[in-house]
């Protein structure tokens, strides 16, 4: 029988509003709670330690680097690792079901897909293609980590298979207001701009990516769709995304909160990304080599000198503009 010990890895910076809810939902499920903190100025660390978490502090570079610091450098002893953000929590029988599943699965299983739900303005988003949404959140230690990307980074497993747990939800329910949300997504839009230009010009670390395939895992399907999205016309694609999710996928059924969500996340955010892409391309008169040089000078070089491999290069080169928490689905 497999060991069913689980360690949760949580990244924090000023998450006093969320951290207790998150850790309390892990009680009886996770044998270790690892908090990797980016030098919070509130009492996040004190609250986490009071609830039994082990707190480590590490300078922020990007989400994947910080998460993998927790995976590789925080002395995790458990057999399994659970990726959960500070503003998320386990709901229903999810924890119990995962605990049972990893104790019964074969040694060839190294990952567990679980169901995620987004709550926005105190309303669960159940339409528009946002729910149900399955994500690889639990993986066997030594058999996976977080891929290094500017945005939409996923857990990838190196070998073996996966199983899916359908009980309960991992709920993404941020308690901050819309001013915080829009500020955060402005930062995300810059990162998304860099990510999409890197993918367009072949500067992304393909060796570390989830392989894009439509008829495979949800991560692979999302990556495939993102590549198709990048190839679609600038400024047209935000309209297509909004119509697809809000109208054709039924996002309008989530009421006023659903309308606000799809306007902001499905249209405004996507339009902001396109505007930033246009701004960069116009600045360099659409000269591909000049744009690539700009990306290299500002987002790649400076921390990659002396790196011997492309994999190492991609791990070290990603700098983040702001603290990343989960990814909304692309």
Tens of pLDDT, residues 176-193: 999 999 999 999 999 899
Q: What is the mean pLDDT of residues 81-98?
A: 98
pTM as predicted: 0.85
Per-residue pLDDT reduced to its tens digit, 119-171? 999 999 999 999 999 999 999 999 999 988 778 888 999 999 999 999 999 99
Convert the pLDDT of each residue in 257-314 to its tens digit: 999 999 999 999 999 999 999 999 999 999 999 999 999 888 874 333 333 333 333 3
In a domain, residue 113? The reply is: no
Residue 148 lies in a domain: no
Q: Please state the rounded mean pLDDT for residues 44-66.
A: 96
198 pLDDT higher than 70: yes
Q: Is residue 80 part of a domain?
A: no
Percent helix, percent strand, percent coil in the chain, to nearest 5:
45, 20, 40
Full residue range of the structural domain in which residue 304 is found: 178-317
- The beta strand positions in 23-168, using DSSP E, are 32-37, 54-57, 80-83, 88-91, 109-120, 123-124, 133-140, 144-146, 155-157, 161-164
Q: Is the pLDDT of residue 1 over 90?
A: no
Closest of 271, 262, 269 to residue 242, by C-alpha:
262
- How many helices (H) and strands (E) the chain has is answered by 11, 12
Half-sphere exposure of residue 227: CA atoms within 13 angstroms, side-chain side: 16
The more confident residue out of 205 and 281 is: 281
Predicted pLDDT at 2: 60
User: What's the token pair of residue 292?
Assistant: 């690539």
Sequence-distant (6+) residues with CB within 8 A of 216 are none
Residue 238 lies in a domain: yes
208, pLDDT greater than 60: no
Total domains in the fold of the chain: 1
Helix (H, G, I), strand (E, B) or coil at 155: strand
The answer as to whether 193 is a domain residue is yes
Q: What is the enclosing helix (H) or strand (E) of 42?
A: none
Average pLDDT, the chain: 88
Domain membership of residue 41 (yes or no) is no
- Domain assignment of residue 172, yes or no: no
pLDDT of residue 166: 96
Domain membership of residue 128 (yes or no) is: no
């Amino acid at each position: 029988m497999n060991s069913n010990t689980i360690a949760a890895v949580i990244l924090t910076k000023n998450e006093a509003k969320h951290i207790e809810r998150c850790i309390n939902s892990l009680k009886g499920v996770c044998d270790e709670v690892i908090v990797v903190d980016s030098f919070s100025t509130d009492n996040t660390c004190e609250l986490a330690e009071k609830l039994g978490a082990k707190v480590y502090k590490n300078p922020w570079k990007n989400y994947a680097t910080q998460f993998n610091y927790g995976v590789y450098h925080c002395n995790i002893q458990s057999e399994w690792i659970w990726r959960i953000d500070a503003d998320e929590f386990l709901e229903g029988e999810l924890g119990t079901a995962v605990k049972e599943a990893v104790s019964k699965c074969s040694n060839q299983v190294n990952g567990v897909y679980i169901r995620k739900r987004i709550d926005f303005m105190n309303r669960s988003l159940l339409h528009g293609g946002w729910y149900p949404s399955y994500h690889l959140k639990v993986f066997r230690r030594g058999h996976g980590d977080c891929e290094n990307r500017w945005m939409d980074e996923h857990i990838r497993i190196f070998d073996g298979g996966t199983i899916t747990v359908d009980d309960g939800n991992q709920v993404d329910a941020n308690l901050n207001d819309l001013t915080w949300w829009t500020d955060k997504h402005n930062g995300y839009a810059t990162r998304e701009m860099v990510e999409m230009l890197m993918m367009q010009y072949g500067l992304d670390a393909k060796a570390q990516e989830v392989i894009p395939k439509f008829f495979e895992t949800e991560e692979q399907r999302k990556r495939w769709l993102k590549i198709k999205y990048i190839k679609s016309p600038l400024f047209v694609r935000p309209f297509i995304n909004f119509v697809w999710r809000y109208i054709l996928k039924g996002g309008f059924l989530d009421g006023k909160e659903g309308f606000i969500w799809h306007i902001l996340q499905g249209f405004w955010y996507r339009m902001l990304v396109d505007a930033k892409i246009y701004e960069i391309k116009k600045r360099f008169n659409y000269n591909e080599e000049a744009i690539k040089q700009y990306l290299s000078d500002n987002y790649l070089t400076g921390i990659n000198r002396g790196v011997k491999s492309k994999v190492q290069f991609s791990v070290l080169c990603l700098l983040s503009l702001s603290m990343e928490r989960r990814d909304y689905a692309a």
